[in-house]
Chains A and B, each alone.
Chain A
Amino acid sequence: MEQVMMIFIGILVSVATYLILSRNMIRVIIGTAVLSHAVNLLIITVGGLKTGNVPLLGHGEEPFTDALPQALILTAIVISFATTAFLLALAYRTYKTNGSDDFHELRGMPDE
C-alpha cells in the first residue's frame, strides 16, 4: 500500500512542479495547493499506513495506530488553507493593480 501511495505522491508532486513553473498566476497558486496535498499524503504515508486500533486506553488491544501524523496533517492543512486564501486575495489585488497575471510581465524594471 505504501508503494502505491508513494507513486501517487510522486505524480502529485510532478503535477505541482509543472504548474508552479508556469507563467500564469492562478496556475502557480493551484500548483502550491496541489503540492501541499502531496506533502500531507507524504506525512501520513511515511508515518505508516498499518491498521490498528484507536489509540485510546481501554478501547481494544494493541497495536495502536500512530495518531501523530494525522495531528500534523490537520495543522498543515489549516496553515495551507490560510496561505492559499491569502494568496488568492493577493493575486486578485495584484491583477487589478498591475493589470496582468503573467509573471513575465511582473518582473519589474531593472532600475527600480
Chain B
Amino acid sequence: MNNVIVLPLVIPIFTAVVLVFLRNVAAQRIMAFITMLAVSIISFILLELVQREGILKIEFGGWEAPFGILFVADTFSVLMVLTASIVTMLCMLYAFSTVEKRHENMFFYSFILLLVAGVNGAFLTGDIFNLFVCFEVMLMASYVLVALGGEKVQLRESIKYVLINVVGSSIFLIALAYLYGTVKTLNMAHIAERVAEVGQDPMLTTVSLVLLLVFSLKAGLVLFFWLPGSYVVPPAAVQALFAALLTKVGVYALIRTFTLMFPHRPEVTHTIIGVFAGLTIILGCLGALSSRNVLRIAAYNIVIAVGFILIGLAVGTEIALAGAIFYLVHDMVAKALLFLLVGMMLYLTGEKLIDYMSGLIRNYPLFGWIYFLAMLALVGIPPLSGFVGKVLIGKGAIEAGSYILLFLGFASSLVVLFSLLKIFLSSFFGESIITNEDKKPFPAASMASLVAFSLCIVGIGIGAEKLLVYVLDAANTLVDPSVYINAVLRES
C-alpha cells in the first residue's frame, strides 16, 4: 500500500514521456489534464492514509532506512503535493485556451508534467541528495519553460535564470559534501538524529547556513534579484505555475531543514532567517510600490509572501508553523490565481502598464470581480483563504515576542492591498477604453480555471476548520522531529 507514495512522481514522468511521442495537440491536452486529475486524487487518498496510519515511507530497492533512498509522506509534504497538483491542473486548464500553438507543438505539456514531477519529488523525498536531484529535475523543466518560445527578451532573461540556478546548485552540492563529511549520512531523519546526538557544533551550523543560502536563492528570500526579471517572460500559465510552485519548494526545503535537521541553534539560524524575512518583506514592498507594470507588481507580491511565510519559521512555535503551512497552501492557490488574472489582462489589452488599461470591469464583469476576490484573499480579509494563516502567524509572533516581525508582516498586508488596489482602480475602474467591436472574446477554458481557483480560495477560507486539522497535525510533526525520525528509522 505504501507504493502509493511514489505515484505523484512516477505518473507525471510516465505521461511526459508518452506525450513526447503523441503529437496530436488535443490528445496531449486531454492526457495531461487527466494525469494531473489522477495525481490530485491520489494525493488526496494519500493524505487520508497518512492521517489514519501516521507517517508512511517507501524504501526503494528494499535498502533499509539509513542506507537507501526513500520517500517519506508526512502530512506537511502530502498537503504540499496535493495543493501543487490541484494548482497545476487548473493552470493547465487555463493554458488550453491561451498558450500558443507553437508552444504546444514543442512539448509544452511534457515539460509542465516534468516540472510537477520534480516538485512532487522534492516534497516527498526523505533523502537530502535526492532532494538535490528532484530540484534539478524541476529546474531543468523550468529552464525549458522560461526559454520556450525563443523571443528576444525570453532568451535574455532565461540565460541569467539558468546561470544563477546552476551556481546555486553547485553551492548546494558544496553544502552536501560538507554535511556528508561531518555526519556521514544523507538520510534526513538520520542526519537529524546524528546532529542531535553530537550537538549542533559550529561546523554543522555553518553547513546549515550554506543550505540556508541555497534555499533562500530558490525561495526568493532576500536573494530574489533574479525573480522579477525571469518570472515575467514566459506565458501566463507558466508564470502562474512558477509563482505557485518553484519558490514554494524552496520555502518547503527551508522549513524542513530548520525544523527537522538543524533546530538546535535557533539563536543563530532562526535569528538569521528572521532578519532575512524582515528584509525580504521590506524590499519586496518597495518593489511592489515602485512599479507600474502589472507583471512586476505581481512578481514582487511573491517576494512579500515568501518573507511573510518565513516569519512563521523564524518564530518557530507550533502555532506559527501551523500558520506558515496554512499560508503556504493559501499562497500557492492565490498567487497562481493572481498571475493568471494579470496574464489575462495582458492578453485582453495587450498592455503591461496600468496607465494604459482602464474600465476592464465594464467589459468583463465576472473577470473584474474575480480579481477583486483574489485581492481580498491576498490581503487576508475573512472569510477568504489568507485570513487564518495571517492570524496564526501573528498569534505565534506575539507568543514568542517577535514584535518587529509582527509589525513588518502586517504592514506588508497594507502594501499588498495598496499595490493590488492600484491595479484595480486604474485598470478595472474608470472609463472603458475597449469598444464593443474590438473587444476580445473571453476564452471559456480560462474562465473555467479562474472560477475554479476562486472557488478554491473561498473554499479554503470557509472550510478552514477542516483544513486546520491537517495543518495542525503537520505542524505537530514539525515541532517534534522525533515523530518523523522514529517513523523513518525505527518502524519497518
Contacts and interface: CB of A to CB of B under 8 A. Distances in A.
A46 B175 CA distance: 11
A50 interface: no
Given A83-B140, A86-B162, A97 B155 contact: yes
Most chain B beta carbons < 10 A, residue from A76, A87, A91, A97? A76
Interface of B: 129, 133, 136, 140, 143-144, 147, 150-153, 155-160, 162-163, 166-167, 169-170, 173-174, 176-178, 180-181, 186, 229, 293
- Tell me if A's interface is mostly helix, strand, loop or mixed: helix
A94 B155 contact: yes
A52 B187 CA distance: 24
Contacts of A36: 166, 170, 173
B170 A32 contact: yes
A76 B167 contact: no
15 contacts: A28-B163, A36-B170, A46-B177, A72-B129, A79-B133, A83-B143, A83-B162, A87-B159, A90-B159, A90-B162, A91-B159, A94-B158, A97-B150, A106-B159, A108-B156
B191 to A, nearest CB: 14
Nearest to B139: A83
- B-side binding surface: helix, strand, loop or mixed? helix
A47 B181 contact: yes
A70 interface: no
A112 B153 contact: yes
Nearest to B173: A39
B152 A98 contact: yes
A7 to B, nearest CB: 16
Chain A: number of interface residues, binned into ranges: 20 to 34
B454 to A, nearest CB: 30
A35 B147 CA distance: 24
A42 B155 CA distance: 33
Contacts of A72: 129, 176, 180
Interface of A: 20, 25, 28-29, 32, 35-36, 39-40, 42-43, 46-48, 68-69, 72, 75-76, 79-80, 82-83, 86-87, 90-91, 93-94, 97-98, 106, 108, 112
Contacts of A42: 173-174, 177
B156 A106 contact: yes
Nearest to B157: A108
A80 B133 CA distance: 11
Nearest to B155: A94
Closest CB pairs A-B (n = 10): A46-B181, A94-B155, A43-B177, A39-B173, A46-B177, A42-B177, A35-B170, A32-B166, A79-B136, A106-B156
Given A39-B173, A39-B174, A69-B180, A25 B155 contact: no
